[in-house]
Amino acid sequence: MVERILTFSFLFLVGCVSFDSTGLTLAEEEKASKTVSEVTPTAINQEPIDLWERIRNQLSLSIPENYEDAEIYKKRFLNNQHTVNRMSNASQRYLFHTVNRAEELNLPVELALLPFVESEFDPYAQSIYGASGIWQFLPATGREWGLKSNWWYDGKRDIVASTDAAFTFLTYLYRRFDNDWLLAMAAYNAGPSRINRAIKKNREEGKPTDFWSLKLPKETTAYVP
């Protein structure tokens, strides 16, 4: 089966990377450990946090077995370990937050991974079209979904505010497109109007209207898997 193969390929490659949820340096951790051991000599057993395992256990969106480009994307990940490592390292500051927030809102964990594609989790990323932040909000879309911006603050670059806005927007798109997360993600990338036109065209031609059956821009067809 090819289900979830692209996400699994990426997670397999970055799974060896461990995240430090404390944000402390190694020296600070050693100092803190010594301080605690002096006060509490009895060791406390604690399971190490494995964010990638959490993500793998929650994957729910699937790729059809007959999806022709699946192997292409899989090989792209497997043959670009340097790029995967760079993306993994870049996400360490913020992936915990997007995953935690998705869990709190009972959303598919795949949504928490979208900033990998949007910006490589770089809050200072900016496109030539003016989209910025890890979720690449355009100024108008950001305002529409409650992100404030002035001379000293830009909500599009605020990790907490932009993540909440992105998940609210994606939930709206999910409901708009008949509770279909794949179409919601496609609409987040290409815009709702573009997806509506593709659906309308397929209906007129008597074709299925699921994501895999729509004729969409290459960027969007590569975005969702």
- Answer yes or no: is 82 within a domain: yes
Q: Is 137 helix (H, G, I), strand (E, B) or coil?
A: strand
- Answer yes or no: is 181 within a domain: yes
Contact 149, 142 (CB under 8 A): yes
Query: Is the predicted pLDDT of residue 37 greater than 90, yes or no?
Result: no
Question: Residue 74's pLDDT is what?
Answer: 62
Query: What is the value of pTM for the model shown?
Result: 0.75
Residue listed under structure tokens 């998940």:
167
Structural domain span for residue 24: 1-37+47-92
Q: State the average pLDDT for the chain.
A: 79
Q: Is 208 exposed, middle or buried (0-12, 13-18, 19+ CB in 10 A)?
A: exposed
Tell me the average pLDDT across 141-165: 96
Q: Report pLDDT digits (tens) over 82-137.
A: 666 666 676 778 999 999 999 999 999 999 999 988 998 999 999 999 999 999 99
- Answer yes or no: is 64 within a domain: yes
- Answer yes or no: is 138 within a domain: no
- Answer yes or no: is 106 within a domain: no
Active-site amino acid positions: 118
Residue listed under structure tokens 């709190």:
104
What torsion do the CA atoms of 209, 174, 63, 159 make, to the nearest 10 degrees?
Answer: 140
- Answer yes or no: is 192 within a domain: yes
Query: Is the predicted pLDDT of residue 170 greater than 60, yes or no?
Result: yes
- Answer yes or no: is 116 within a domain: no
Question: Residue 53's pLDDT is what?
Answer: 86
Domain count, the chain: 2
Pick the closest to residue 173 from 155, 196, 139 (CA basis).
196
When pLDDT is cut at 50, 70 and 90, the band that residue 78 belongs to is: low
Pick the closest to residue 50 from 80, 14, 84 (CA basis).
14
Q: Report pLDDT digits (tens) over 39-53.
A: 333 333 444 458 888
Question: Residue 12's pLDDT is what?
Answer: 43
Over the Cα atoms of the chain, what is R_g?
Answer: 20
Type of residue found at 112: A
Highest-confidence segment of 31-35, 78-82, 128-132: 128-132
Question: Residue 77's pLDDT is what?
Answer: 58
- Answer yes or no: is 144 within a domain: no
Cα–Cα distance list, 95 to 5, 57, 202, 212 (Å): 20, 16, 37, 28
